Amino acid sequence: MQSGLYEYKIFGGLADCPPKLCVDVYMDLNFRKQWDQYVKELYEKIYDGEKVIYWEVKYPFPLSNRDYVYIRECREMDVDGRKIWVVLAQSVSVPQCPEKPGIIRVKSYKQSLAIESDGKTGSKVYMYYFDNPGGMIPSWLVNWAAKSGVPAFLKDMQKACRNYSKSI
């Protein structure tokens, strides 16, 4: 087993999920609790005038869950006539969100997400993701996340996009 820093770059497509819908689904924390099986707790609060997100992620037994405290921003951009939605997220330290016993706080987290049309009815998705999960993460779990977890997340997100209009 080894511990280290984890960095991912993801390039994928979500067929039949227009970019605006993908962004709406991705940004909707309440809806995410319904479709993301790894969410234990997820909410947004305002501290010192800034929207801060708390997210606890379920890890498989015998590992401890991880939690994140972060800020994020979404912008719609026009790049040479192409509409691109960009979501940036980064961990922050907020005294009002202290660490909880038995849960490992991920103190170093950064994510950049860009979504644009695939030219048809779907979206192209580009994500850069970095975090330091802390503790000892077995290599089998890291390999699973890279090979199976990320594609499964994209499939879950695609399914969530299809069900989103029903949940509003």
Question: Which pLDDT tens digit goes with each residue over 65-116?
Answer: 999 999 999 999 999 999 999 999 999 999 999 999 999 999 999 999 999 9
The residue with tokens 């490992």 is: 104
Q: Mean of the pLDDT values across residues 145-153?
A: 76
Domains of the chain with CATH codes: 7-167 (3.30.530.20)
112 in the Ramachandran plot: left (φ > 0), alpha (ψ -120 to 50) or beta? beta
